[in-house]
């Protein structure tokens, strides 16, 4: 167990109950801001530099100011994990946009991991959300604080007994899960929706695509229909906390044999996520 009582707020480490930001911040008023969720293993943020790089790319694209440099933020991540005695879990890095009246704020909090090793072995259940994603929105490519659609979809999934909800875009094609990117396997070919489908290009998604780009198992990025997804031999979800997670059913449709498939297992047993 860890204490999770200390947060980092603008470089200062304080008790969580004392942490506050201004109600004049556009992050509070309009959801103007960004966040990253980073896995911690053996007390160290995993792929922290990749998350910080994505954050900075989004600040440039969305014109959000940031008052710390990359090295300072990475050091804050490490210290937050250390001060909370977090050996295994997750960090949430949040940046608010501030306003003409207040400076932007950056804060780091801790949380536990969402899934167990048993979930990895057995796979999870998913289903389709009724919410449609706008594939043409510039915000779909960034991890912004405008996240309430995802929260609604996750709550809907829980009511249905699913672990994850899958979004379609306005053209009716697959975009992503409410907390993950989606891959499918058909005839030993790995396929994932392209970025132009309207999705966040996840850290683990990028690692898999780049690692397999020069192999016989290269990933095909393109539009994916619900019908194609449901007829897949294997499906897996990816994000920084779950890594590569098998999906064994979508709604009442069993995927493959209803157990994690061989390619998904092979990816999980490889060193692909250590690269």
Q: Is the pTM of this model over 0.85?
A: yes
264 close to 248: Cβ distance less than 8 angstroms? no
Q: What is the mean pLDDT of residues 183-197?
A: 96
Give burial (CB, 10 Å; 0-12/13-18/19+) of 36. buried
**pLDDT of 2 strictly over 70:** no
99 close to 24: Cβ distance less than 8 angstroms? yes
220 close to 197: Cβ distance less than 8 angstroms? no
Q: What is the mean pLDDT of residues 191-219?
A: 93
Mind listing the pLDDT tens digit for each residue in 159-169? 999 999 999 99
Q: What pLDDT does 215 receive?
A: 75
Mind listing the pLDDT tens digit for each residue in 98-120? 999 999 999 999 999 988 888 88
Task: Report helix, strand or coil for 71.
Answer: helix
- The CA distance from 210 to 233, in Å, is 23
Delimit the domains of the chain by residue range: 6-111, 117-274
52 close to 74: Cβ distance less than 8 angstroms? yes
CATH superfamily of 117-274: D-amino Acid Aminotransferase, subunit A, domain 2 (3.20.10.10)
DSSP 158-177: HHHT-SEEEEEETTS-EEEE
pLDDT > 70 in the chain, percent: 98
**pLDDT of 170 strictly over 50:** yes
Q: What pLDDT does 150 receive?
A: 97
User: Residues with Cβ < 8 Å from 69, sequence gap 6 or more?
Assistant: none
* Count of Cβ atoms closer than 10 Å to residue 41 Cβ: 13
Give the confidence band of 1 by pLDDT, cuts at 50, 70, 90: very low
Give the confidence band of 3 by pLDDT, cuts at 50, 70, 90: low
Domain 6-111: give its CATH architecture: 2-Layer Sandwich (3.30)
**pLDDT of 81 strictly over 50:** yes
- Computed over every residue of the chain, the mean pLDDT equals 95
Q: What is the mean pLDDT of residues 21-43?
A: 97
């Amino acid at each position: 167990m860890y204490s999770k009582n200390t947060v980092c707020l603008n470089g200062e480490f304080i008790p969580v109950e004392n942490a506050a930001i201004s109600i004049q911040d556009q992050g509070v008023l309009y959801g103007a801001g960004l966040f990253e969720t980073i896995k911690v293993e053996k007390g160290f943020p995993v792929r922290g530099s990749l998350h910080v790089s994505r954050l900075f790319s989004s600040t440039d694209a969305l014109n959000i100011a940031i008052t710390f440099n990359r090295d300072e933020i990475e050091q804050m991540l490490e210290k937050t994990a250390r001060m909370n005695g977090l050996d295994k879990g997750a960090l949430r890095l949040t940046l608010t946009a501030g306003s003409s009246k207040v400076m932007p704020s950056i804060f780091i909090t801790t949380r536990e991991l969402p899934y167990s090793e048993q979930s990895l072995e057995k796979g999870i259940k998913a289903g389709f959300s009724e919410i449609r994603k706008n594939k043409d929105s510039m915000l779909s490519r960034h991890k912004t604080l405008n996240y309430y659609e995802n929260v609604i979809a996750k709550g809907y999934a829980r009511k249905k007994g699913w672990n994850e909800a899958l979004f379609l875009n306005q053209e009716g094609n697959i975009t992503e899960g409410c907390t993950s990117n989606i891959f499918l396997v058909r005839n030993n070919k790995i396929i994932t929706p392209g970025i132009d489908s309207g999705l966040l290009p996840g850290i683990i998604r990028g690692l898999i695509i780049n690692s397999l780009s020069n192999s016989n198992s290269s990933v095909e990025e393109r539009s994916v229909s619900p019908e194609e997804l449901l007829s897949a031999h294997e499906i897996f979800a990816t994000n920084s906390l779950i890594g590569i997670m098998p999906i064994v059913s979508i709604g009442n449709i069993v995927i493959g044999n209803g157990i994690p498939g061989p390619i998904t297992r092979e990816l999980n047993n490889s060193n692909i996520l250590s690269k």
